[in-house]
Amino acid sequence: MSHSTISHDGVSHHPLGAGSYYCEDNPIEYLETLTQPDRPAIKIFVGAQPNSSTHIGNIMNMCTAFALAEALTKRGNKVTVSMDLVDTAPTPEKSVVYDGVSYQRSLRLTKHSAKFEGDFLRILNRLHEVSGVDFELRKQSEIMGGPGVSNILREIIANHDKLGAILEPRYKKLGLRSACPKLGCGLADKHGITNQYREDSIIFCWPVHGSYTVSLLEETGVTALELNTPLRSLVRSLIFSRDTSVSWIQVEGRDYAGFYTEQLLWRPLTGTCMPVVFYSPLILDWSGPKFPRVFMLSRRRINLSTSKVSHTSSAMPNIKSRVEISRKYTKLSRDGSRNRRSYFETIPSSRYTRNFNHYPTLLCE
Ligand SMILES: [Zn+2]
């Protein structure tokens, strides 16, 4: 990957929008009101698939979790960070297809995840040093072995037809897996296509090595189960809601905001009226926030200490020029010499569309 470096003015514009109106002055205080007052402590959840060394997305999530924990601690709360490593995720290039059914081998089975756990731990330790916030690091078998998980799974499989259709609309099946126990095999039906559900057990079927029954009443069977992302989110949310010892806050990447969470998490949790909303893409400024309307630019901006951004596209300098031009329009508007108008009305759509498409490639130096 080639990189080039540009300078920017270090000014980030934060317009109000949607939910931001309701926690404008103190979002941490607002978040605190959403925790359960009868629970003596707060845990901040953050998760990652250890299929590579920590990347910038993992680090962003982990930093957000610790920053949030630190801010809540300063308000007098007892807060820790709890990081889940999803070592049941598929190992790259270890999936196979038999009779049209996809099978995978998990990161823990191939020991792929073990190679990278140290990298996550090092960053967690560093964030602990910086923030003073304690943390725990858990693998999937520890989570699945927790109290009440067996009951939650039994409730879910009792409604596997309905929940499967919501959580995996392509296959209408629960993404519930167990690896073939045959030594050297370990294949697991990725989408749970061949699973058969009983009241307290699941029959898993594998190519070559037949079938196997896992009892949900035995801890060894439950801890060996693997859940796909939507099912794991549902189980996790139910575990957290029933944990009377702490109040949980989940830190998720913004790609899980909106449609995904509403339809694949809130819908099965509520089971009642659920509106369908389809979100349009946001136009972002150089530092990530929604690109503001001109009238917002003059009163909501934050100076950043960062002086450089590296990127993978030669189109990036145009992003800075967009901000500069917008500021110019703001000044004109305040002087009353020109009507307020969106900056994007002033340039050809193809130009900002091209720039917008490069945002996901931004890397901080
Ligand atoms: Zn097998």
Confidence at residue 304, expressed as pLDDT on a 0 to 100 scale: 46
Q: Where are the domains of the chain?
A: 1-17+282-365, 18-252
Ligand 1 centroid to 184 CA: how many Å? 8
Average of per-residue pLDDT values in the chain: 79
Ligand 1 centroid to 226 CA: how many Å? 16
Residues 326 and 320 sit within 8 Å (Cβ to Cβ): no
Ligand 1 centroid to 181 CA: how many Å? 7
Ligand 1 centroid to 205 CA: how many Å? 9
Give the DSSP letter of residue 91: P
pTM: 0.77
- pLDDT tens string 228-284: 999 999 999 999 999 999 999 999 998 898 889 999 999 888 866 777 777 777 777
Ligand 1 centroid to 179 CA: how many Å? 8
Go through 268-296 and write b for each residue having 16 or more CB atoms within 10 A of its CB, e for each that does not.
beeeeeeeeeeeeeebbbbbebbbbbbeb
Ligand 1 centroid to 147 CA: how many Å? 30
Ligand 1 centroid to 317 CA: how many Å? 54
Give the DSSP letter of residue 335: T
CA separation for the pair 262, 196 (Å, rounded): 28
CA angle, corner 360, sides to 12 and 236, nearest 5? 95
How far does Cα 308 stand from its chain's mean position? 27
Sign of dihedral through CA atoms 319, 325, 329, 330? Answer: positive
Fold of 18-252: Rossmann fold (3.40.50)
- pLDDT tens string 288-299: 666 655 445 545
For the chain, what percent of residues have pLDDT higher than 70?
A: 73
Ligand 1 centroid to 195 CA: how many Å? 15
Neighbours of 229 (CB within 10 A): 17
Ligand 1 centroid to 183 CA: how many Å? 8
Ligand 1 centroid to 25 CA: how many Å? 57
